[in-house]
Chain A
Amino acid sequence: MGMYSAKVMDHFANPRNVGEMADANGVGEVGNAKCGDIMRMYLKIENNTIVDVRFMTFGCGAAIATSSMATELIKGKSLDDALKLTNKAVVEALDGLPPVKVHCSVLAEQAIKAAIADYYTRLGIDPEPIVGKLADDAHDHHHDCSCEGGCDCEH
């Protein structure tokens, strides 16, 4: 057995919704290269619905697979529903992740929220009451880059 489930390997080998999006109206980027993973999420939102989504990810196999799965889970969804997506749901949809890689799913959740926050900001609406505080969380989470030994990254 490898370290990843067949679903993770499928999304890694054949990522969905990958690439840049020129006409996105919400773009979010979380993580940093120093820590080894960056996710950039592009959203096209019409009438409070995510009509299209693309991602670009620098990171490990789990980072690519969680990005890919997260885009599948929010495509066609309302912004409210997309904001309800938890990292746990992404992990479950992938049939699990090794403990040391759970932080990748947190990044995927954060990337979506960051993109939605960007959408509201572009509309002149303060995103914080709707989306919550994000960038700081993502940054804090990655402060030491390390989840060695399988920390609980879900808190």
Chain B
Amino acid sequence: MDTVLSILFRGRLKAKRCFLFICPQILFCRTAFHHPSLGKVNDLNELIYLDNAATTPVSKDVLQEMLPWFCEHYGNPSSHYSIGYETKDAIDNARQQVASALNCQPGEIFFTGCGTESDNWAIKGSALRWAAKGKKHLITSAIEHHAVLHSMKALEKQGFEVTYLPVDAKGFVSPEQLREAIRPDTALVTIMMANNEIGTIEPIAELGAVCREKGVWFHTDAVQAAGAIPIDVQVMNIDMLSLSAHKFNGPKGCGVLYIRKGISPLNYLDGGGQENRRRAGTENVAGIVGLGKALEIAVAQMEQKSAHQKQLRDYVITRVLKNIPETRLNGDADLRLPGNANISFLGLEGETILLDLDMHGICASTGSACNSDSLDPSHVLLAIGLPHEIAHGTMRFSFGPQNTMQDAEYLCEVLEKIIPQRRAMSPVWNSMQK
């Protein structure tokens, strides 16, 4: 505990210091790290942000693109005069950027307030559309984000029946099991493109093909996948797709629902005629501009960024599994998001690790950020068959393009120090050793 004590008594850091560094055409702001009560605590003198699956910093290029749409060009896109036309054009430009990224028509892109809204719209809108024709069965997987699972729970209370497809030990949904689960009264199938906790990339094209063959609408929550892995809604047989700007260095508060032409979920927000009368509410113009730009950059630089993130991810996975005993990687080693490392540390509870990392200036996550107020272990980890006690000791490290090999090395050094220290006071570890 000497090290922790010394951390506690180090002095406070003075003013916040920002410096920029260049990562393939994107400028990010790195913040000097200072804990409000503990003072400066890490050797690198800055915050190490390894929770890019929770959210990402807005890139400077994106911010520059957004700024004119607050004070200068503030017209309502629905207004019929010059400054209204300007903002309408800006939205249409972003719509084109998103359509190019997904390989669809701009008219099939609808801007929303967030990924959660997109999921709610696709699921509840489809359920209500088909309920009128007697179809009240929905299919999803056991490892979806709560935006999907809680939408399903809400529909169950309204008399809908939901099938939750199990996943295998790596987190994969089986297209064969999906085929068997589809019934004549199935209204919608929704399976996420990549899991937010364990990073597993689902066989979306195959799952979509099964739905196409059976004539059932297919939605995918691509919030973690968009900007990180290639997406083509034609090749992948996708009817609806949700994404969110803040996961790929865009702003918070702006999402997209792609809806294939001919697919018609009921509207979720009723009101004015925005978004081709499908999603009411005055548009978040700056956010939409930022989303379009961020996705354009993410897709243009995907290859190099993905390779960079994979390098950091695989370095951490390999070193931790080699140097720290009784650890395991969750999810598939290859078919996983380029920035995601999800590792269980036996004999420990995740929050302990989370707090220790925070004291060393490292931001990571136990399970997923959405769950940090709940005491139950992650439903995803339980679904892949982890026992509760191992699920409790699981950490997610998610790398972004701004992270460096130095960050990955520092994470490993800190883990190699704190894990044995905390295990020494764990009765579970103590019993395991006897």
Interface residues in chain A, defined as those with a beta carbon under 8 Å from any beta carbon in chain B = 1-2, 6, 9-10, 12-15, 18-20, 29, 33-40, 55-61, 63-64, 100, 145-148
Q: Is B359 an interface residue (CB 8 A)?
A: yes
Interface residues on B, range: 20 to 34
| Given A13-B4, A13-B8, A58-B347, A38 and B376 contact (CB-CB distance below 8 Å) | no
> Who on chain B is nearest to A36 by CB?
B392
The residues of B that contact A38 with a CB separation of less than 8 Å are: 427-428
* Most chain B beta-carbon neighbours within 10 Å: one of A20, A36, A58, A100: A58
Our pick among A2, A15, A59, A148 for the contact of B349 (Cβ within 8 Å) is A59
Find out whether the CB atom of B37 lies under 8 angstroms from the CB atom of A33: no
A-B contact pairs, 29 of them (CB 8 A): A2-B36, A9-B38, A9-B355, A12-B355, A14-B1, A14-B8, A15-B1, A33-B388, A33-B428, A34-B387, A34-B389, A36-B349, A36-B375, A39-B427, A40-B427, A56-B425, A57-B425, A58-B347, A58-B428, A61-B355, A64-B425, A100-B374, A145-B375, A145-B388, A146-B374, A146-B375, A148-B373, A148-B374, A148-B375
Task: Work out how many contacts link A and B, with CB atoms closer than 8 A.
Answer: 90
Q: 14 new A-B pairs (CB below 8 Å) besides A39-B427, A61-B351, A146-B375? A: A1-B36, A9-B37, A13-B7, A19-B425, A34-B388, A35-B375, A56-B426, A57-B425, A58-B347, A58-B348, A58-B427, A59-B352, A60-B349, A145-B375
Contacts of A37 in B (CB 8 A): 349
- Least Cβ–Cβ distance between A16 and chain B, in angstroms: 10
- Distance in angstroms between the alpha carbons of A63 and B426 in the assembled complex: 11
Chain A residue numbers with a CB within 8 Å of B1 are 13-15, 18
User: Which residues on B sit within 8 Å (CB–CB) of A146?
Assistant: 374-376
- Once the chains are docked, how many angstroms separate the CA of A36 from the CA of B393? 9
Contact A58 B388, beta carbon cutoff 8 Å: no
In the complex, residue of chain B having the shortest beta-carbon distance to the beta carbon of A101: B375
Do A36 and B377 touch (CB < 8 A)?
A: yes
Residues on the B chain within 8 Å of A15, using CB: 1, 425
Contact B427 A14 (CB under 8 A): no
The distance in angstroms between the C-alpha atoms of A10 and B9, with both chains bound, is 11
- A33, B393: Cα distance in complex, Å: 10
Known contacts A14-B5, A14-B8: does B430 contact A56 (CB below 8 Å)?
yes
Contact, CB under 8 Å: A58 / B375: no
Say whether, besides A36-B388, A56-B427, A58-B427, A145 and B349 are in contact (CB < 8 Å). no
Q: Note all chain B residues with C-beta closer than 8 A to A19.
A: 424-425
Q: Which of B368-396 contact A (CB under 8 A)?
A: 373-377, 387-389, 392
In the assembled complex, the Cα of A124 lies from the Cα of B341 at a distance in Å of 52
Q: Is residue B429 within 8 Å, beta carbon to beta carbon, of the partner chain?
A: yes
* Chain B min CB distance to A51 (Å): 21
Contact (Cβ within 8 A) A148 B352 = no
Residue-wise, chain B 413-433 has the 8 Å CB interface mask toward A (1 for contact) of 000000000001111111000
Given contacts A12-B355, A14-B1, A100-B373, contact A63 B389 (CB under 8 A): no
Contacts of A9 in B (CB 8 A): 37-38, 355
Q: How far is the CB of B338 from chain A (nearest CB, A)?
A: 30
Within 8 A of A (CB), among B97-114: none
Q: CB within 8 A of B389: which of A6, A18, A33, A148?
A: A33
A35 & B388 in contact (Cβ 8 Å cutoff): yes
Contact A10 B8 (CB under 8 A): yes
Question: For the complex, what is the distance from the CA of A145 to the CA of B392, rounded to whole Å?
Answer: 12
Determine if A64 and B352 form an interchain contact, defined as CB atoms under 8 angstroms apart. Answer: yes
Residues on the B chain within 8 Å of A145, using CB: 375-376, 388
Report Cα–Cα, A130/B120, bound state, in Å. Answer: 56
Chain A residue contacts of B428, Cβ below 8 A:
33, 38, 58
Closest to A20 in B: B430
- Complex contact B375–A57 (CB within 8 A): no
Expressed in whole angstroms, the minimum distance between the Cβ of A77 and any Cβ of chain B is 23
Interchain CA distance A37-B376 in the complex, whole Å: 11
B69 to chain A, nearest CB (A): 33
Query: Would you give the shortest CB distance from B376 to chain A, in whole angstroms?
Result: 6
With A14-B1, A33-B389: A57-B426 Cβ-Cβ less than 8 Å: yes
| Residues in B whose Cβ lies below 8 Å from that of A18 | 1, 425
Q: Which residue of B lies closest to A103 (CB)?
A: B375
For B349, list chain A residues within 8 Å (CB). 36-37, 58-60, 63
* Chain A: CB-nearest residue to B424: A19
Of B7, B387, B389, B427, chain A has the most CB atoms within 10 Å of the CB of B427
- B430 partner residues in chain A, CB cutoff 8 A: 20, 40, 56
Cα distance, A142 to B200, chains bound together (Å):
32
Q: Return chain B residues, CB-CB under 8 Å to A64.
A: 352, 425
Docked complex Cα distance between A147 and B359 (Å): 26
Name the residue on B nearest A40 (C-beta): B427
Residues of chain A within 8 A (CB-CB) of B388 are 33-36, 145
* Chain B residues with CB under 8 A of A10: 8
B352 touches A60 (CB 8 A): yes
**How far is A57 from B430 in the complex, measured between Cα atoms in Å?**
10
